[in-house]
Amino acid sequence: MSYSRLLNFINGSPMANSSGEVFDVINPATGEVIYQVECADQAIKDAAIQSAKTGFRVWSAMTAMERARILHKAVVLLRERNDALAEIEVMDTGKPWQEAECVDVVTGADAIEYFASLAPTAVGQQQEVAGDFYYTRKEPLGICAGIGAWNYPLQIACWKSAPALAAGNAMIFKPSEETPKGATMLAEIFIEAGVPAGVFNVVHGAAEVGQWLTTHNEIEKVSFTGEVNTGMKVMQSAASNLKDVTMELGGKSPLLVFDDADISEAVSAAMLGNFYTQGEVCTNCTRVFVQRGVYQQFIEELVARTKNNVVAGDPMDPEVNLGALISAKHQQLVLDYIEKGKLEGASLLTGGHALSPQSAPNGYFVAPTIFADCQDDMTICREEIFGPVMSVLVFDDEQEVIERANNTQLGLAAGVMSQDLRRAHRVIHQLEAGICWINAYGASPAEMPVGGYKLSGIGRENGLEALNQYLQTKSIYVGMNKLESPF
């Protein structure tokens, strides 16, 4: 059987490799190969660097206003093609159409719009010093690498390229080999909008291609999204030429439900933070701590809504709100965690098994799973599962739950559900996490910086500060007095 082929995207157009090496991409909802992708061989890699160098020269010489105008055109194209792009994301990731249609492309476009608008605000400063003066310029870094995970492929490519390109850099992006199409579509859109060839290149392949990017001495920065252990390896390789790094890594985030919370809203937050994108979201609140007084009420509503309101099936069906996991291997990993949960004594309230929905019988589905009576030291409460598996724990008082919530090496996100506004702020200020929500969960607008504490990351994406992470400061001292010298 012959499949359509996706090529590397270099210097403004698709480029065929010489090695002939390809890999398959599988639709997680059907288990079928949907297309093949050419691996980046040495010729592709060399061309990517050369084209990024040329692209950088042209792009960085433009004014920020010129770059902004072009990026805004890309935003218009992304929004016009929302449905076609969302469908690609559903096919590659297995996530529900009802999410991709209103989140994945939209939030990617928002980030490009935000950073395009910010680009002209990147100004230096000047100061007089003893009759002389100095001024600073904000200059781009050069060629940046972006390496993405598979859960939000197009959105991740947008979130990384938006500040990089707005600041005048070129980027070579490697999507996850499981979901390579979205980033390639973005590359085409950039060209159509008028971004010069070579400014945004896409290289395909597995870890080896990522490693090449992280060690190449003409690449100045790596922005990485993925697992903690991979992030550590990336940072080690990036040290070879002291590359700047942004690391968006995993989490094991807590949601604290106090007895004064609106319990229905707390259940909504817990379900959003565990079952959205079938649980494959880095910020998920997989440890749900519920205060003893409302524990029973919370559990009853949670289980009832999970049993009644979750619809698994063909992710293109607009009624479906639980999609397939990314691969058979990942499905097995999630099922293995569920077994550990049972073995270690957690009470399984619902789910706990694979699903084979009628409309997508061969997909890699796992039923939404809730464990209660969980203990802090259980494997399911310590390790990131990245599937629809929620652990509910009971607590008695505020200080106790803060300590237990912080008792992890990870620190990506946290949430507090409480109607006592003093308590909500007091508690959230003590939680060791970079992305926090009060009476909300999961919302991540382009204006809000996101990133992790502790092992969950370094640097921030989105928000004002992210633009600066793609700029460096040049100081220029200007002598206004006769130059004195002892020589």
Active site residues: 248
- State the DSSP string of 366-421: E--EEEES--TTSHHHHS---SSEEEEEEE--HHHHHHHHH-SSEESEEEEE-S-H
Yes or no: say if 85 and 105 are a contact pair by the CB < 8 Å rule. yes
- State the DSSP string of 82-131: HHHHHHHHHHHH---HHHIIIIIHHHHHHHHHHHHHHGGG----EEEETT
| Closer to ligand NDP by Cβ: residue 125 or 229 | 229
Yes or no: say if 78 and 190 are a contact pair by the CB < 8 Å rule. no
Q: Any bridge partners for residue 140, and if so which?
A: 471
Biggest CA–CA distance in the chain, Å, is: 87
DSSP reduced 3-state for 77: helix
**Residue 251: CB minimum distance to ligand NDP, A:** 6
Q: How far apart are the first and last CA of the chain?
A: 79
| Closer to ligand NDP by Cβ: residue 168 or 180 | 180
| Closer to ligand NDP by Cβ: residue 100 or 193 | 100
**Identity of the residue numbered 417:** M
**DSSP label at 276?**
G
CB neighbourhood size of 280 (10 A): 23
Q: In what order do the strands lie in the sheet with 132-140?
A: 126-129, 132-140, 471-478
Nearest to 442, CA basis, from 294, 314, 286: 286
| Closer to ligand NDP by Cβ: residue 67 or 460 | 460
Stated length of the chain: 487
**Residue 438: CB minimum distance to ligand NDP, A:** 20
Structure tokens at 292: 């003893």
Interacting residues of 332 by C-beta distance below 8 A, sequence separation 6+: none
| Closer to ligand NDP by Cβ: residue 183 or 269 | 183
**Residue 146: CB minimum distance to ligand NDP, A:** 10
**Residue 348: CB minimum distance to ligand NDP, A:** 24
**Residue 472: CB minimum distance to ligand NDP, A:** 23
Yes or no: say if 366 and 417 are a contact pair by the CB < 8 Å rule. no
Q: What are phi and psi of 142, to 5 degrees?
A: 130, -125
CB neighbourhood size of 406 (10 A): 16
| Closer to ligand NDP by Cβ: residue 67 or 287 | 287
**Residue 150: CB minimum distance to ligand NDP, A:** 5
CA atoms within 13 A on the CB side of 19: 15
**Residue 194: CB minimum distance to ligand NDP, A:** 28
| Closer to ligand NDP by Cβ: residue 251 or 313 | 251
DSSP reduced 3-state for 449: coil
CB neighbourhood size of 13 (10 A): 12
| Closer to ligand NDP by Cβ: residue 30 or 277 | 277
Nearest residue to the partner ligand NDP, using Cβ: 210
Nearest to 387, CA basis, from 276, 310, 227: 276
**Residue 425: CB minimum distance to ligand NDP, A:** 24
Q: Which residues bind ligand NDP (CB under 6 A)?
A: 147-151, 174, 176-177, 206-207, 210-211, 214, 225-227, 230, 233-234, 248-251, 282, 384, 386, 412, 452, 457
Yes or no: say if 225 and 248 are a contact pair by the CB < 8 Å rule. yes
- Separation of alpha carbons 323 and 351, rounded Å: 15
| Closer to ligand NDP by Cβ: residue 103 or 266 | 103
| Closer to ligand NDP by Cβ: residue 151 or 201 | 151
Q: Any bridge partners for residue 461, and if so which?
A: 450
**Residue 234: CB minimum distance to ligand NDP, A:** 5
**Residue 356: CB minimum distance to ligand NDP, A:** 24
Yes or no: say if 71 and 112 are a contact pair by the CB < 8 Å rule. yes
